Amino acid sequence: MFMLVNCSNCHTPLQLPPGAQSIRCAICRGVTLIADPRSLPPPGSSHQPYPPPSSSTASSPYNHAPPGAPPQVHGRKRALIVGVSYTNSRHELKGCLNDAKCMKYLLINRFKFPESSIVMLTEEETDPYKRPTKYNMRMAMYWLVQGCQPGDSLVFHYSGHGSQQRNYTGDEIDGYDETLCPVDFETQGMIVDDEINATIVKPLPRGARLHAIIDACHSGTVLDLPFLCRMDRYGKYIWEDHRPRSGMWKGTSGGEAISFSGCDDDQTSADTSALSRITSTGAMTYSFIQAIERGHGNTYGNILNAMRSTIRHTDSQIDGGVVTTLITMLLTGGSVGGGLRQEPQLSSNEPFDVYTKPFSL
């Protein structure tokens, strides 16, 4: 029976084996000594790393912010960047490491994220705790939100394979959970959208913001956010209600969570050199960065339209990435007949006017 104990240095929840007197954190590498085992939760207890959502008098069922004025702004920036290449496997992707490096450069140079506040998980890392394994991804997601306070800006970027699996709880409109695939997913399993939501969405306090940028197949609702922006090719949109019929809580604890994803839940995403003409990239990551760099990053609606336009205008070239796309299809079961089509998506914990709400990280 494993129990949870917080790291004495960075406060990340750690799974403590029975009888252990110390444990090393996978994020900060600090060692936590267990001085008094009697202070730990008893076996079988339902100790949770986050408290349940508090009650609220707010009108929205997905806004659990406490009443009154918001607390004092804190203002830290923190990011988790994951690029999974699946090197030397039948699922290998060529552009994910480039995506991770480009996103780090963008956050540091355009949005002034301190380099020390960015955790990178890629197969290029020599530190075993910085490889994109399932365990490391889980611990890094805990780190991302740990100690989050009002005014904090968090970013989660993922470039790699995504997939789907049958949902049996009734909280998915299409009957499928969306998943992310760590480098060791074939032996350790995938990370399901329910876990991603519980780890980095639900704990967000009032005044904190999370932006997820997910470049993967089947990623439209991979954060399980309650509302999806359904936009047509002319820029007209409605917010589609994805709140589970079971009534399960999928919102935040008063904070703001917004996700840009590479495609709809039933689509696949390209890993190709057709866009940059120089090196392989994820089509979604490339189009997102291009939207920012070309001055379309003032509102969420402008970013989404610019991303879709970039991908739509290169559809005929994306067929150049058909070999990589075929590798992707081995995992997702999709089809490449007629060329790849993907439409980036926007989802949120609350609906908003996408053309007036300013975008900022």
Assigned token pair, 292: 């920012």
- Please, which contacts does 274-277 make with residues 24 or more away whose CB atoms are closer than 8 Å? 274/314, 274/317, 274/318, 274/319, 274/320, 274/321, 275/310, 275/311, 275/314, 275/317, 275/318
pLDDT the model gives residue 34: 72
> Above 50 in pLDDT, residue 325?
no
Q: Which residue has the higher pLDDT, 244 or 39?
A: 244
Per CATH, the architecture of 77-348 is what?
3-Layer(aba) Sandwich (3.40)
Global confidence as pTM? 0.72
- Whether residue 81 is predicted with pLDDT greater than 60 in this model: the reply is yes
* Catalytic residue, candidates 64, 91, 157, 161: 161
Is residue 161 among the annotated active site residues?
yes
Per-residue pLDDT at 162 exceeds 90: no
**List 102, 217, 229, 263, catalytic entry:** 217
177 or 82: which leads in pLDDT: 82
Each residue of 60-79: pLDDT tens digit? Answer: 333 333 444 444 445 699 99
pLDDT value of position 343: 84
| pLDDT band at 246; cut points 50, 70, 90 | confident
CA gap 86, 101 in Å, rounded: 17
Please give the residue that has the higher pLDDT: either 74 or 87.
87
Cα(172)–Cα(197) distance, integer angstroms: 13
User: How confident is the model at residue 361, as a pLDDT?
Assistant: 93
Domain with CATH 3.40.50.12660 in the chain: 77-348
